[in-house]
Amino acid sequence: MSTQIDAQSYECTIFVNNSNDVHFAYTLQNGGIKYARWNGVSITTATVHAPEAFQSGRVLGLVVDGGGIVHLSYVRSGSGLIYGVGNGVSWSTSTVEALADFDGGSLALDSSGRPHISYSIDFPEVLRHARWTGVSWSTETVDTGTVGRFSSMEIDGANNIHISYYARAVGDLEYAIPGKEFLTLIGTVLNISEAMV
């Protein structure tokens, strides 16, 4: 059995909260960014970022905190990397990093409920980490050298940031704790570009 969430949409990310509500953030084919929630009976949807002429969009991450607040990160061509927060109906957005080409990413909350985003910049291709300080966004470069695509991030109980990502130049899957250490998990035996075909 399947249920249609929305029409003319793709690139969806999903989050299930403790109440077993299922939350979705996704991109419309016209470039808009939307949010949906399935409560087991019905689906409600809301527009996070309306379509704009000559701009495309892509959702990177989605988290719903213990208070039911929805956090998401997404990319808009011509605008940059954007963070959105809301109650599922109304939204507040802020630009994390502007005017660059971004690829892939992940979103997580620390123990204070503040968002962190991992992502890569395409030119030059580097892995970046952004965090909300409570006042503004602070960004840092985690790794350089044609790296950073397909990143996934988690935050442990001590608020250490853990990021796995693809190092395209050498074909490695790598792991980093920003400011602490790097580790190659899988060598060139794994070619992610081939594995994803």
The average confidence (pLDDT) of the chain is 85
Highest mean pLDDT among 62-76, 95-109, 161-175: 62-76
Q: What pLDDT sits at residue 144?
A: 86
pLDDT confidence band for 81 (50 / 70 / 90): very high
What number of other Cβ atoms are within 10 A of residue 68's Cβ? 14
Structure tokens that stand for 37 in this block:
């929630």
Whether pLDDT at 195 is above 50: no
Better-scored residue on pLDDT, 9 or 159: 159
Better-scored residue on pLDDT, 2 or 45: 45
- Enumerate the domain spans of the chain: 1-99, 100-197
Please compute the mean of the pLDDT values over residues 90-103 and round it to a whole number.
85
Q: What is the pTM of this model?
A: 0.86
Highest mean pLDDT among 5-9, 13-17, 168-172, 184-188: 13-17
- Chain segment 19-75, per-residue pLDDT in tens: 899 999 998 888 889 999 999 899 999 999 888 766 778 888 999 999 999 999 998
In percent, how much of the chain has pLDDT > 90? 48
pLDDT confidence band for 194 (50 / 70 / 90): very low
Query: What CATH code is assigned to 1-99?
Result: 2.40.128
Whether pLDDT at 127 is above 60: yes
Whether pLDDT at 190 is above 60: no
Q: What pLDDT sits at residue 185?
A: 60
Q: What pLDDT sits at residue 110?
A: 96
**Is residue 117 within 8 Å of residue 85, measured between CB atoms?**
no
